Structure 1
Amino acid sequence: MKKNWLRVVLSALSLALAVALVVYLPQIVHSLTGAKVSWHEIGHEFGRLSWQTILLMSVLWLGSLWAYTYVMTSALPGLSNLQALTLNAGGSAVSNLLPFGGAAGVALTFGMTRGWGFTNRPIVVYTLVTGIWNSLFRFLLPAVGIACLLLAGKATNPTVAKAGWVGAVSMIVLVAIVAAALYWDRAAALLGRALDGLIRVLPRRFRPAEHAASGAIDRLRQDTADVIHRRWAGLSLGMISFLALQCLIMAACLVATGSYPGAAETVAVFALSRVLTSVLVTPSGAGIMEGGVATLLIGAFGQPASGATAAAVLFGFWTYTIEIPWGALALGAWSLLRKRESAAAQSASTLTRAQAT
């Protein structure tokens, strides 16, 4: 009971912080960049949006949700795209309302998928695979953003360019090592031995149990290897399509508010936005993402404060706010269908018993 109350209090505080960060976003942007902006100016930018722009953003948003269903159906064979869409919507709504919504999202995943006839083991594997794939691609995004800026010649000097390339290549290599450990037995064994060697360097009081690190990696690889071996193409293409469509939403927001800095810069801004959603101080990094995006656009890329801040808020709407009512509708439809199916099954059972007597 105490833990439940603590979660409620933390959730309320987290949501309150997210609201405060958005409400005071103009002041935050001013303190970080020195640029002055008001909600009146931001509202003016919103008023300039045409219905064609809103329609385009809606199509891109729906397209990104549908693209992600292929990640989910690849990770859980037998899951339909419509079921995946419902599951994703419900999970997103939960995650967007709670600061640590991942646990609640997993519980919801188990409830919904078990109701569709899936057993525990494939659900656990699905949860692991989708979590790993999301983490890998989220880790790759900063490398892609840095590479785009460097290839476009946006580095301020050779030293910065060299540091950027080192950082980007290091992230890509790290992701490649983890991917190889998940895919190949020998790579997993080598990585396990390397981690064991690193752990032995630590003071004894900080060491985990013997072989704990390599064992954990082994178990993870064994649980996910079969799905990854057979479904890696669907997982990767679905994730790439999802991220590409979301990046196009970012580009549409920037163009619509007159703060489009260029293709390479847009990819970098999008990469930053996805990284900041991992900051769990607020649900899905709400408020933090908007402030970071606006600061990068204004401070690094010289975009107008009103347009940049409006673009950040608009992108937050399409990747956070709208998912809450969308998820509520999906969960409502799922609950209604379950009640109808339960009532139909009960009626069929009653009819069968009556005929038997």
Structure 2
Amino acid sequence: MKSRWARVALSAMSFSLAVALVVYLPQILHVFTGATVHWHEIIAEFRRLDPPMIALMAVLWLASLWAYTFVMTGSLPGLTHTQALMMNAAGSAISNLLPFGGAAGVAVTFGMARSWGFGAGAFAVYTLVSGIWNSLFRFILPAVGIVCLLVAGKTTDPAVVTAGWTGAISLLVLVAAVAAALYSTRAAGLLGRWLDALLRLLPRRIRPADGAASARLARLRRDTAEIIHKNWAELSAGMIGFLGLQCLIMWCCLAATGTYPGLAETIAVFALSRVLTTALVTPSGAGIMESGVAALLVGAFGQPASGATAAAILFGFWTYTIEIPWGGLALGGWALLRGRRPGNASPALSEHARLP
């Protein structure tokens, strides 16, 4: 009970911090950039939004969610795109409400997957593959943002240019190294031996038999590699489509508020926004992302403070706020359809799911 109340208190504090960061966004922006803006100016920017532009943002948002379902169906064969849409919405809603909400989101999506006939083994592979693909592209995005700024000549200081190219290349090399490790049997075996050594520190009555961790890791790696080898194109296309459509939403937010700084700068701002969502102080980096985006637009790209702040908040709405009620609808729909099993689930996958 104490642990439960501690989690509730931590969640309330984290969510309250996110709200406070948004409420005091004008003051935060002033601290970092010296720009002065008031809420009535920001609200005036929202009132100038055209209905056609809002409709376009909504279409792009729905399209981005559909694009991401290809990552999910590629990671979990037998999952339909409609089921993937529901799982993604529900998991995102939970993650957006809680600090460190990713684990809770995974628990919810696991329950949904189980209700459709997928077992723990299949879901473990799905979680690993989709997590790997998300992580790889989170490393690629900053590198792309840096390269865009350098190629566009937005940075002229030789030291900054050198540091930028060094950072971008380092990130891409890291991604290549991780990708290579996924195919390395030797690396998987080494990780398994390390895990066995750690498990030997546990009390004898609860630790697994020697070599059990290595065997499980080897099997998990084999199943993961099989999915990656077969569906890497679908996984990559889904991530590129998802991020590309979200970047278009960012462009719409900037254009609608009169703060479009250029293509290279827009990609850089979008890359920063995605990096800041990994901040775990608030759910999905809410408040932190808006502050960072507004500060970059004003401080680095010279955009008006009122429009930049409105654009940051508007983008946060389409990538965070709206996912909460959308996820609630998805959970409600799942509850009505609970117990239905996908007719195209792979028999081989079902057998794998029953493995211990």
TM-score bracket, normalised by the shorter chain, equals: 0.7 to 0.9
Match in the other structure for 1:161 = 161
AA at the equivalent of 2:224? T
Equivalent residue runs for 1:16-35 within 5 Å: 16-35=16-35
Per the alignment, do residues 249 and 30 of structure 1 end up closer, same or farther by CA in structure 2, a change over 3 Å counting?
same
Is 2:176 the partner of 1:176?
Answer: yes
CA contact (8 A) 1:183 1:229 kept: no
The Cα shift of 1:218 comes to: 5.7
Is 2:315 the partner of 1:321?
Answer: no
CA contact (8 A) 2:93 2:324 kept: yes
Is 2:259 the partner of 1:269?
Answer: no
Cα-to-partner distance string for 1:276-309 (whole Å, 9 max, x where unaligned) = 0000100000000000000000000000000000
Distance 2:243 2:232 in 1: 16
Distance 1:320 1:157 in 2: 36
SS in 2 for 1:154: coil
Cα-to-partner distance string for 1:253-286 (whole Å, 9 max, x where unaligned) = 0000000000000000000000000001000000
The Cα shift of 1:334 comes to: 0.9
Per the alignment, do residues 177 and 332 of structure 1 end up closer, same or farther by CA in structure 2, a change over 3 Å counting?
same
Cα-to-partner distance string for 1:134-171 (whole Å, 9 max, x where unaligned) = 11101111001000000101113111111100100000
SS in 1 for 2:338: helix
Per the alignment, do residues 181 and 214 of structure 1 end up closer, same or farther by CA in structure 2, a change over 3 Å counting?
farther
Moved more, 270-279 or 150-159: 150-159
The Cα shift of 1:183 comes to: 2.6
AA at the equivalent of 1:171? L
Equivalent residue runs for 1:1-357 within 5 Å: 1-185=1-185, 188=187, 221-338=221-338
Cα-to-partner distance string for 1:2-36 (whole Å, 9 max, x where unaligned) = 22111111000000000000011111101110001
Name the structure where helix makes up a greater proportion of residues.
Answer: 1
SS in 2 for 1:308: helix
The list of structure 1 runs, each at least 4 consecutive aligned residues, that deviate by more than 4 angstroms after superposition, is 213-220
Moved more, 242-251 or 104-113: 104-113
Please, what TM-score do these two structures have when normalized by structure 2? 0.87
AA at the equivalent of 2:315? F
CA contact (8 A) 1:183 1:228 kept: no
Please, what TM-score do these two structures have when normalized by structure 1? 0.86
Per the alignment, do residues 157 and 219 of structure 1 end up closer, same or farther by CA in structure 2, a change over 3 Å counting?
farther
CA contact (8 A) 1:35 1:305 kept: yes
Distance 1:338 1:223 in 2: 28
CA contact (8 A) 1:89 1:327 kept: yes
The Cα shift of 1:222 comes to: 3.1
The Cα shift of 1:336 comes to: 1.8
Bigger relative contact order (CA 8 A; separation at least 6): 2
Distance 1:330 1:164 in 2: 42
AA at the equivalent of 2:169? V
CA contact (8 A) 1:75 1:235 kept: yes
Per the alignment, do residues 216 and 136 of structure 1 end up closer, same or farther by CA in structure 2, a change over 3 Å counting?
farther
CA contact (8 A) 2:277 2:284 kept: yes
Percent identity, aligned pairs only?
71
Distance 1:222 1:305 in 2: 52
The Cα shift of 1:338 comes to: 2.2
Distance 2:176 2:14 in 1: 35
Distance 1:270 1:217 in 2: 36
The Cα shift of 1:189 comes to: 6.4
Per the alignment, do residues 300 and 217 of structure 1 end up closer, same or farther by CA in structure 2, a change over 3 Å counting?
farther
Cα-to-partner distance string for 1:171-211 (whole Å, 9 max, x where unaligned) = 0000011011113436x369x59xx9xxxxxxxxxxxxxx9
Per the alignment, do residues 215 and 40 of structure 1 end up closer, same or farther by CA in structure 2, a change over 3 Å counting?
farther
CA contact (8 A) 1:253 1:315 kept: yes
Match in the other structure for 1:348 = none
Distance 1:219 1:337 in 2: 33
CA RMSD of aligned residues (A): 2.4
Q: Which runs of 5+ in 1 are unaligned?
A: 197-210, 343-357
AA at the equivalent of 2:29? V
SS in 1 for 2:303: coil
AA at the equivalent of 1:121? G
Distance 1:161 1:216 in 2: 46
Distance 1:218 1:35 in 2: 55
CA contact (8 A) 1:69 1:81 kept: yes
Distance 1:215 1:76 in 2: 22
Per the alignment, do residues 335 and 315 of structure 1 end up closer, same or farther by CA in structure 2, a change over 3 Å counting?
same
Match in the other structure for 1:202 = none
AA at the equivalent of 1:134? N
